[in-house]
Amino acid sequence: MYFYAQCFFRAVLIVVLFFPLMYFFPILYVPRMSQLWWKYLRFTLETLGASWIKLGQWASTRRDIFPVEFIDYISKLCYRCPAHDFAYTQKLIETTYAKKMEDLFVYFERVPLASGAIGQVYRARLREGKQIVVKVLHPTVEATLDVDLALMAFFAHVIEMLPGMKWLSLCDAIAQFSISMKAQSDFQIEANNLKTFQEHFKGHPDVVFPSLVEALPATRGVLAETFEEGEVLQNSKYLRAVSPESVKLAKIGLDAYLKMMLLDNFVHADLHPGNILVRKNEKGKLGLVFLDVGLVSHLSPSDFEHFKLLFKAIVQREGKHGAKLMVQFAKDHNLTPEEEERFVNDMDAIFQDVRSKKMSEIRVGEFLSAVLDTVRMNHVKIEGNFSTLCVGTVVLEGIGRQLDPELNILDASLPILVQGDVIPEDNAFKRRALWEKLKYTFGFK
């Protein structure tokens, strides 16, 4: 009964806050007034808390559902995530590990390094001398999470009942969001993700993930990991001017992402310049540190095979085949034969554009964006993780081209596709790509 009472009062608050957004929706078409609508949306999501801020961030990855204008705006919203009191942090840590703070740490900074929607991060030093960071879950997350997710599912069901809205598959989308939200609000899952990434990147010294602190085992609300030295990529000189070092960083980052996506099927789903550190080792060699691995994407075995084959179709310019692969990705698309034919033809048109370009001229990010737009316009439902991977690739290509304007994802993906037995080693397209690369490097005609 208490849960239903919570849902009722929370629903009233949500309706009150969202009503002005619906009522004043037309001002989005008035250029001078539209910013007011977006500012109020940010205020609404911040007021409702972590689940709704994360919903906004998640929506920015679902280009298969939402129009590009909405994606562009909501992805640029900068949310204010206030920190919780240090007293709560101290109580939670002491309760979790049954020890006083002074018995665990030489020092523990009272002011957090950062505060996000889910939790906040502190810097500390253990008694044994190791410098670490400690993540602590916000108290409000657990208090409202189940209620918010239940209400999101209810609202999604109501929207799907409206004429012409069922194709959005919002109930499935919110179910997927709920899984990712629960994963992010349980630091034990992030700890397991760290272990998996470290296992996958053994023997890759230029890619580092933080290590878990054995003395402080991860719990749902607390995660201790090693403090990793480095400069945040977002603030670094490498994004401001192209140099041999920035080109090297672009290659390291791209190779790591393609390995996650095309070999491991276990992808860091929240990569952005604020989650990446740049550093040099004792020998002066550049490397990257990937942080915040609470959110990952992985496809089912069959979808993973389809995804790799889609990459192969892009490389080999096989339009019809690539389009049919996208139909296979679809979930209960319920397309008539005529609608399916139109979708395949629309997809083939995108591949035709790719077919007319050299390998070095193909922008995979632009291609995948066009694919997702075509999926949305044809009302085709696809696996949410596929959309997340596509958007992640778009974001990565954007970062990579800031570091290296000549970055080419297809060139970089060829050795990995060969390694994964997707393209035979003697494939003609591999030889063609190599020849184009030699022509570019040495100026051959």
CA pair distance 147, 399, nearest whole angstrom = 37
pLDDT score at 419: 61
Give the SS3 label for residue 338: helix
Q: What contacts 18, CB < 8 A, 6 or more positions away?
A: 44
pLDDT score at 77: 62
pLDDT score at 13: 93
pLDDT score at 223: 97
pLDDT score at 445: 43
pTM to 2 decimals?
0.81
First-to-final CA distance of the chain:
76
pLDDT score at 200: 95
Per-residue pLDDT of the chain (445 residues; tens, 9 = 90+): 778 888 888 999 999 999 998 888 888 888 788 888 888 888 898 888 888 888 887 777 776 677 777 777 777 666 667 788 999 999 999 999 999 999 999 999 999 988 888 899 999 999 989 999 999 999 988 878 889 999 999 998 888 888 777 766 778 778 878 888 888 889 999 999 999 999 999 989 999 999 999 999 999 999 999 999 999 888 888 888 888 899 999 999 989 998 998 889 999 988 888 889 999 887 788 999 999 998 888 888 877 887 888 777 777 767 677 777 777 766 656 677 888 888 888 888 887 777 666 666 677 777 888 888 888 788 777 777 777 787 778 778 888 888 888 887 777 777 777 665 555 555 555 555 454 444 444 444 4
CA pair distance 353, 348, nearest whole angstrom = 9
pLDDT score at 329: 67
CA pair distance 299, 172, nearest whole angstrom = 15
- Alpha-carbon distance values, 304 to 104, 186, 221 (Å): 44, 26, 32
Q: Are 279 and 291 in contact (CB under 8 A)?
A: no
Nearest to 333 by CA among 279, 286, 371, 380: 380
Convert 153-172 to b/e letters by CB count within 10 Å (16 or more is b). bebbeeeeeeeeebbbbbbb
Which phi-psi region, left, alpha or beta, contains residue 292 (left: φ > 0; alpha: ψ -120 to 50)? left
Q: Are strands 286-290 and 207-208 parallel, antiparallel or unpaired?
A: parallel
Sign of CA dihedral 20, 25, 30, 35: positive
Domain boundaries, the chain: 300-382+408-442
CA pair distance 236, 153, nearest whole angstrom = 41
Catalytic residues, which ones? 270
Q: What contacts 434, CB < 8 A, 6 or more positions away?
A: none
Residue type, 408: N
Q: How many CB atoms lie within 10 A of CB 390?
A: 24
CA pair distance 25, 279, nearest whole angstrom = 46
**Tokens 């502190």 identify what position?**
122
Read off the tokens for 165. 């809205």
pLDDT score at 81: 76
